[in-house]
Structure 1
Amino acid sequence: MTGEERPLLRVVRGNPSDAELAALTAVVAAASAASPAEKPKPRTSWWGDHAASLRKPLHAGEGAWRASGLPGF
């Protein structure tokens, strides 16, 4: 090993067995090779959301006019 190369892993405390080092190396290699997680889709506006049309029907009564403008949770 030349002076410019650095080891991938370095044990700074303890005395791990060969099997423990192999397991750690496998986990680090798998984590570095994994594809990045997909970003979630941005939320569409409440006006364009079709889920609001699936809400329970509104019934006439006290506060019904106020509930008619709210998104259906």
Structure 2
Amino acid sequence: MTEPVLRIAKGDPTPEELAALLAVVAARSAAAPAEPPSTDRASNWATYWRNHTRPLHPGPGRWRASAHP
């Protein structure tokens, strides 16, 4: 015999309340993604900075110029 998936621990719900609960649980499980998203690519934040950083140019006074585009 299998274990119940859902168990009422407290109270005495009506059949209508049980039906509503099961409808919500079924809708949530159907809406869940089938597989987790892939984690093999960089996040959008990392991709943005990878494409928008400028090379460093050392020299006198360059630290002041680094704050200005």
Normalising to structure 1: TM-score of the pair? Answer: 0.51
Letter in 2 for 1:65: A
Secondary structure in 2 matching 1:29: helix
State the AA in 2 paired with 1:26. Answer: A
Greater displacement, 7-16 / 40-49? 40-49
User: Which of 16, 23, 31 is the aligned partner of 1:19?
Assistant: 16
Q: Answer with 6-15 or 29-38: which moved more.
A: 29-38
Give the corresponding residue for 1:48. 51
Cα RMSD, aligned residues only: 3.2
| Structure (1 or 2) with the greater helix fraction | 2
- In the aligned structure 1, how far is the partner of 2:64 from the partner of 2:16? 67
| Cα separation, partners in 2 of 1:47 and 1:68, compared to 1, 3 Å | farther
Task: Please give the secondary structure, in 1, of the residue aligned with 2:17.
Answer: helix
Count residues in correspondence: 54
1:23 alignment partner AA: A
Structure 2 residues not aligned, in runs of 5+? 53-62
Percent identical across equivalent pairs? Answer: 42
